[in-house]
Chain A
């Protein structure tokens, strides 16, 4: 590719690779869904299914078609933006998961807005005050929190702030369908806090490690020797460089938020994609499982790409090597 050089070229190449990744993912997802025992017709009819009603519903749902045909129909639809019809809900997949995506994205966004600056701050200050009381305290707290599974944190919040000790926040998220989650700030507090606690420790620890290294580097020493204030040294010179390795961790954690909030959504009955995913697998609603898997795979691809681009942009060495 002579025409596309530098960062645009890099992005285009990575996007093409990403499309390839997604295609391979689609094959794996499809094969995995085929391997699940039982089918949607069984699940819909429950154990009251009769041979007649099963046959009729399988016919209606198109479950009798050959596997290859099912795949080509599906992937053909995906390419034209048609994700098919949910078997369980008998509605277009986009309609079934559209609102769920909106809910999860919003939760993810506020969790990210809170946790990323918080983690960067904790990491930077800990590195600056290395081996001081703040550093030690934070080190213990972040380690402890990183070791706690999200559902434990979630349930602890519910017990303390919603049901047993105080009754400050709602224990579960009851959002009326068709109403955006931003109309329910109180309901969002506990799920957000739980996610923040799930994500912040990792980012903070990486940030601290990378900052410790940078604060000992020559150019920081240089900046100090020039007589700049510690605050300026830290935030103007050290942090922008220290954050580069953190981008990768942030990307992984955001991707985790997209796919891994199943547990948190379960605990709080939050109607997002995590809960929708579990629901769809349980009911063998393959079009929904496939659409959500592809979506989460795409989020991983895009976030990783963004992290790489951001890393390149903040690292002069990498920036020039692309030219």
Chain B
């Protein structure tokens, strides 16, 4: 009997029942489960109600709530509580029809059909309709607003969005894009009501509709930089959800204060436990560390059009001058995986693990540099503490590079300077990215029109080829064919590109064991997308 119970933790309910039957009947399993810890995990008792308090890092007084834009993590948590998208990435990072749309598909590569579910209400009682969808996409595309999602909708033609009926829209694209569902599945692509804050970010503009979404919680109060209170949306469309009466999102400027608040029981969950503090939280009874292996990466980027990095031999040498396992151990305290200079590890067409893994090889780097006439090279490397590991990996690279005769002067700048007018112009600099699929990432980071092309890849002689492959891939419905094209693109970046991608890192959050329902999620967001907008988590 003990065997069955111990196995229960790792099995799904179905598997358990099947195995139970094999052992001689479901009755036995039922008996074994009752009154054990394993049973509590398999079928947690959901307690409805309560006030859930989340401790989060924020930007400060410029925090805002907008259904389609974020800057700091606090903005993300507040967005997902109140706004929802047409579709979502599931825990395996696969776009899924699990949002406001009941249908979202490419009728042809350049033609998409969107139908929203029937009878969904906004917080002000208005029913969600095709007009809101069209308005939301148009708002995303406004250059003046500078919204996060705009770059991903490059293929959408705002003049060719046709309302077919009250719930259905047909988009005719400028060019084929079979991955448009990726863009719609991004958490910041909320559907906002027609007329929503058209000229400024939601809560900064004081527009009457600024807090109105379809999400599980309505905004009750919001003091930027301090806290927001969200109350249950009684008319929420998903049966039985959400569970909490109220969600409080509380800003902490300091990591230590945030952890102390959790240790002292003043909040129920926090985002971003610094890796070094994980053992401290793990040790504590009543707390749980929630670690998610994500596709987040911190590139160290070399501009392919600026000396000395315009010579591919120099770029290759730099890629060999970083000891990747050491970076994972020291910069991430082991909470990540080694990277191979290709992004988007969860993409179905990811080829980074098919190419030979780049290893620390100062001798080979030396000979490459010698061939390029850059022996004893000295360069500045700009970085900033915007994200865990960004500064540390640069320092480790600088140490490692000495063996190759390269002197790297790491300039650790404050955020305002780093992301100031020189940003994206530095010849050699670090940066950060979340999880994305390959073509989506190319769209925002590797094209001439991308907003963040750190390596100025568009000025590389191979770029025209890369760009035409990209267009071709977007228009290719067949997955195998698409993967072939994408692999060729990755090969170009692997051989000639400007990014050093040393690792993909984990997100580490923590919560009180009084809370249940969190799942391990590969996406960009902390805490299983904040418990899917605080609707799939509950007190137990």
Contacts and interface: CB of A to CB of B under 8 A. Distances in A.
A49 B421 CA distance: 11
Interface in B347-386: 386
Interface string B232-268: 0000000000000000001011101110110111100
B204 interface: yes
B252 A269 contact: yes
Contact of B144 (A48, A52, A174, A276): A52
Interface in A52-92: 52-54, 56, 60, 86-90
**B144, B256, B452: which has the most chain A beta carbons within 10 Å?**
B256
Contacts of A88: 60-62, 224-225
B264 A171 contact: yes
**B60, B143, B221, B226: which has the most chain A beta carbons within 10 Å?**
B60
A146 to B, nearest CB: 23
B61 A38 contact: no
Nearest to B72: A46
Interface in A148-170: 155, 158, 162-164, 167, 170
Contacts of A36: 416
Contacts of B150: 50
A275 B253 contact: yes
Given A90-B204, A163-B260, A164-B263, A266 B223 contact: no
A269 B419 contact: no
B253 A163 contact: no
**B145, B148, B204, B254: which has the most chain A beta carbons within 10 Å?**
B254
A138 interface: no
Interface size class of B (residues with CB under 8 A): 35 or more
Given A45-B71, A174-B266, A266-B257, A271 B61 contact: no
A53 B263 contact: no
Given A171-B260, A279-B60, A269 B253 contact: yes
Interface string B43-60: 000000000000000011
B201 to A, nearest CB: 8
A283 B206 CA distance: 20
Contacts of B145: 53
B261 A177 contact: no
B146 interface: yes
Interface string B67-78: 001011000000
Nearest to B263: A163
Contacts, number: 136
Contacts of B227: 174, 176-177
A59 to B, nearest CB: 10
A216 B423 CA distance: 68
B223 A172 contact: no
A42 B420 contact: yes
A136 interface: no
A239 B146 CA distance: 66
Contact of B260 (A46, A162, A280): A162
A203 B472 CA distance: 76
B61 A279 contact: yes
Nearest to B386: A47
B62 A266 contact: no
B461 interface: no
The 8 closest A-B pairs by CB, nearest first: A53-B146, A38-B416, A171-B264, A46-B71, A88-B62, A163-B263, A279-B60, A171-B260
22 contacts: A38-B417, A40-B62, A44-B62, A44-B71, A50-B146, A50-B451, A52-B143, A53-B146, A86-B61, A88-B60, A88-B61, A89-B224, A89-B225, A155-B256, A158-B264, A172-B257, A269-B252, A269-B258, A276-B61, A279-B253, A280-B61, A283-B59
